[in-house]
Structure formats: structure tokens, C-alpha cells
Amino acid sequence: MSRASELESSFLIKAGSDVNSKFISGGLIILAVTLLLGLFVFNTESGGTMMMKAFVVINKPSGSFEPSTAALAPDYARRVNWAAHPELEDSADQIPQGIGTDASLLRPRLGADEPEQAVNVFFVHPTGLMNQATWTSPMNENSATEENTHFMMANQASVFNGCCDIYAPRYREANIFTYFIESDAEREALLDFAYQDVRRAFEHFLIKENQGKPFILAGHSQGSHHLQRLIEEVVDPSDLHRSMVAAYLPGTTIRPIARAWFEGLRHVRACESATDTGCVLSWDTMPDGGALMPRDGSHLCTNPLSWKVDEVRADAALNLGALEPVGVFNANIGSSDDTPTGQVYRPLTSPIKGLTWAKCEQGTLIAAAELPKQFPREALGTYHQLDYALFYMNIYENAVLRANQYLSDRGR
């Protein structure tokens, strides 16, 4: 079986050994074991492909996607449709222990003697819809899927609260199995459906929330895919490119950002240093010694320890602090049950300095193979869910640096 298919499979059982046991059925365990045998024991293209297809057929939502049966489009004038917003107390407000001065380790909300930040972040969360009940998120606030959104606010979006006010829309995200169905047309229809929510949220953000401020775009996985399209269709062709400080788009794995993509853009380019602005950053992290991502050097790989796009190893001494993920990601694959598990995604822990080195190699970011148990690999060996965690403080400090650089360059 190809490495690409192996990686795809890893996302289907993406919480690895830390998956909440409430969502693991005996049948799914047997199926996962069978899949792994096909991948690593028999290691045949036909056998692995057959098992992959069986896994998808058994665990994906039934039938084809019908937009008419989806949840109503979210109204972004309502605060309930934002997972993070400056006027809400949410999981993205948290500050890692040891770096903040507020006793509660939460940033004060606007209106509580806290001035607005000069730069905003528009953050699009990755896939949290893992179950087989629906093809797109039903937008149920009281669900395991929604808990996964809070997981991402705490462990990913919070990295930007040192520089910016964070706006993160809830949206009718596409189910994880969208990436693995055979029909290209159906896959694109699902991703397009989810993207339309992201675009509407961004348009609302610009008109009603942003007040003409410069902004950072940031996401992960499916969120990064939607933001890449947003840059191509909305930001780059318009004057908005002048307002974009940077776009942090890690975790694009299955649909990596090709360097050739920038050739079709008029203004936006790849970032090449720690202070570049108006540009894009992206990386996908794998442990040292394993197979690389199925790509070559034609795909963008930004080293978050040096902020360069070369293949020079950045020493662990440059790692300002990794952050242990809080809470558990609900991977309820193979189940129609989306009942929440009572997860609490706070408080954030203290950063761990010097945890890992990093080096780009043929479009993949390589990190140390041996990490503490609180930084687990995915089921099939990737660091996909750790794309932010392993380099948390570097991203935190860099977002501040780029925001200040942007403001300084424009005399603000």
C-alpha cells in the first residue's frame, strides 16, 4: 500500500491510544487491527487498498451528501456561531502557565479594561466531525464534535492570543471521511459546502468585526485547506492582501501546499524569514526515522524553529517551548453517537523548552523520534495533531513579531 494511503488511514483513527474509550467499539478495534495488518504485515498494494476501502465503507456516513438535509447555515451575527470571539470567554483565551501575568491565566475580555488588539486573527479549526451520523456538522453545541472544536481552540487557536484578538467561526465542517471517499465530485461538493460557511464568516468578520485592522489567517488541516482557497479567491485578488499580516496554514498533509500554487497568485507569497509579512507558512510534522510524507521538495515546508524554508536542521535550543495538549480528542469513528464526554480544556500547562529540533526534508517537517508520552504520535506514526503543540511558544512569539513588524512597516 502506498505511503499516501497509510497516512490517510492514520487520520481515520487519529487519536491513537488516547482516544476516549466511550467511542471505541469492539468491531472498530478488530477492523483497525485488520487494517494495520494489511498495511504493515502483508504490505501489498491491492491488499492494503482493499482494507482501506472496507474501512471507509463500514465507517463513513451512509448514503450520499444531500445539502438539503444539512443544518441551517449559521448566522455569524450571533455570538453562538463563534467558537472564539473577543466578547466571549472561550477556550482560546487561555495563557500557558508561566508566561502570563493574569492570575486566572485567561486574557480579560473586551469591556473589562482590556484594550483591543491592533491585529486580529481569523482562525478556522480542523476536522472534529468523526462519527458516521452526518456528512457535515449538525452544529449541535452539545456534542462530542463540538467538544473537539473546543479542543482546537485551547490547543491551537490560543497560540495567537499574545498578538491578537481571535475570531474563530463554527461552521458546517465536512466529515473526516470526505477525504477518503472515491467520488471526486462528492468530495469537492462536501468541501465546497463547508468552505461557503468559512467564506461567509470571513465576510462578516471583515464588515462587522475587523474594523479595517490588519489580520492573520490561521488554521489546521481542513481549516488550512479552506483558508488556502480563501486566499486564492478572496484575499490575493483584492486589496485585502495588503491587510494580511501572514497566514499560518500547518497540517495540510493530504492536500499539501505546492510551491507552484504561488505562481498563480498575484501578491501573496511564501514566507522566508521570521519577519516576512503578507505571506504563507505551512508544515506537516513527522518523527525522525519514519517514512516521509508522500511528496517531494516541491511542497512548502516552513521550519517553525527558524522560520526558513531551507533544509537546515534547527537545533532544539531554538525551541522556545512545546505545550502538552489538554483534554482528549473524541474520535468516535464507527459510531452514530455524538454525545459529549464532559471534556474540560483548561488550564494550559507550562511550556517545555528545547523539547525537539526540527528540519524540513523533501517537503516534510521532521522532529525528534523520542518524545515524552504526553506528546503521542498518531496511530500510524505522524505528529499531525502536534503541528502546533511541538512549537507552541515559537508560534506564539512569531505571531507577535510579525504583527509588530507589519505595524512598524506601516507606521502604526
Per-residue pLDDT reduced to its tens digit, 323-361: 999 999 999 998 999 999 998 898 999 999 999 999 999
Among all chains, which residue has been given the C-alpha cell 475570531?
Answer: 167
Could you tell me the pTM of the whole model? 0.89
Burial tier of 387 (Cβ tally within 10 Å: 0-12, 13-18, 19+)? buried
Q: Which amino acid, one-letter code, is at 131? A: N
Closest CA to 231 of 271, 206, 267, 260: 267
Beta strands, E only, 315-382: 358-361, 364-367
Q: What is the pLDDT of residue 100?
A: 64
Grid coordinates representing 145?
A: 464534535
Strand partners, 166: 121
Residues of the chain with pLDDT under 70: 1-48, 100-115, 296-297
> How far apart (Å, rounded) are the C-alpha atoms in residues 35 and 55?
8
- Using CB atoms within 10 Å of the CB of residue 103, give its burial: 0 to 12 exposed, 13 to 18 middle, 19+ buried: exposed
What number of other Cβ atoms are within 10 A of residue 229's Cβ? 15
Sign for the pseudo-dihedral over CA of 290, 392, 10, 328: positive
What's the DSSP call for residue 75? -
Enter the C-alpha cell of residue 132.
458516521
Q: What single-letter DSSP state applies at residue 339?
A: -
Q: In the structure grid, which three cell numbers stand for residue 118, read together?
A: 491592533
pLDDT at 177: 94
Q: Is the peptide bond before 347 cis (omega within 30 degrees of 0)?
A: yes
pLDDT of residue 386: 97
CA-nearest of 180, 191, 250, 258 to 221 is: 250
The grid coordinates of residue 356 equal: 525537539
Q: Which helix (H) or strand (E) holds 47?
A: helix 45-59
Separation between Cα atoms, residue 116 and residue 287, nearest integer Å: 39
- State how far Cα 401 lies from the chain centre: 21
**pLDDT recorded at residue 297:** 67
Report the distance separating Cα 205 and Cα 223, nearest Å. Answer: 16
Q: Which long-range contacts (CB under 8 A, 24 or more apart) does 309-316 make?
A: 309/270, 309/271, 309/272, 309/360, 310/360, 311/359, 311/360, 311/361, 312/359, 313/357, 313/358, 313/359, 314/357, 314/358, 314/359, 315/357, 316/354, 316/355, 316/356, 316/357, 316/368
Q: Which strands make up the sheet holding 285-287, listed edge to edge?
A: 285-287, 364-367, 358-361
Q: What is the DSSP letter of 243?
A: T
